[in-house]
Amino acid sequence: MGARWSFGVEPLPGSLELASLIREVTGLVLSLESPHPALERLAAALRSAADALRPLVPGEPSPRVGSKADSDGRAYIDHSRDIGAYNPFFPTYEMRVDGDRASGTVSFPVVYEGPPGLVHGGFLALFFDSVVQQHNCDLGVAGKTTSLSLTYRRPTPLLSALPFEVERSVEERRIVSTARIVADGAVLCEAQVSALAGSHAQLPAVSPRRPAP
């Protein structure tokens, strides 16, 4: 097993609580039966926050990575693991790594709904790509995803603690992973993911955060 991979800067501490709140509040709003004054107050607070934050971010939207590491772009946040902890548009999960096998649990809230009471298939693809990437990075051999195929065997329910498992093998420069979500012993969804086995030493330069002006 190689050294654990990371690539990018750590998220700001405040973004962790914010991601969780945005995910929860969005689910609550989607579940409302009727309008409520709290919605307008929330929208006003968000407009005010957007006005305050907009002048503080870099004017260049591209991340400071590789040939743009010295540019006026934004900092690139580490995407090797737990992206949902700071980005509310990614799922959150608990995972344990045991060599070429990993397992854990995931629960999809209302914001990931597709068919009634069920997870949208696109979010399942995002989830599988995230856990496979984290598994690879934790083992120190990772790289770009080259293919991802899903088999939807049974509907995946929202708001349920669902076990998942990942198995992988490495052959030359190819990493092949199989991941599945299960419930009551039955496979709900299964993914086959292929990635290139890269070298951490060959990753492009990433700019650290810069002090506030």
pLDDT digits (tens, 9 = 90+) for 183-209: 999 999 999 999 999 888 888 999 999
Walk me through the domains of the chain, giving residue ranges and CATH numbers.
13-202 (3.10.129.10)
Summarised one tens digit per residue, pLDDT across range 15-49 is: 999 999 999 999 999 999 999 999 999 999 999 99
E strand or H helix at 139: helix 121-139
Neighbours of 123 (CB within 10 A): 18
pLDDT at 20: 97
The two beta strands, 162-171 and 101-106, are antiparallel
The three-class DSSP label of residue 83 is helix
Please answer whether residues 190 and 178 qualify as being in contact, where contact means their C-beta atoms are separated by less than 8 angstroms: yes
Helix and strand tally (H, E) in the chain? 3, 6
Model confidence at 89: pLDDT above 80: yes
β-bridge mates for residue 168, sequence order = 177
pTM for this prediction: 0.93
Summarised one tens digit per residue, pLDDT across range 135-163 is: 999 999 999 999 999 999 999 999 999 99
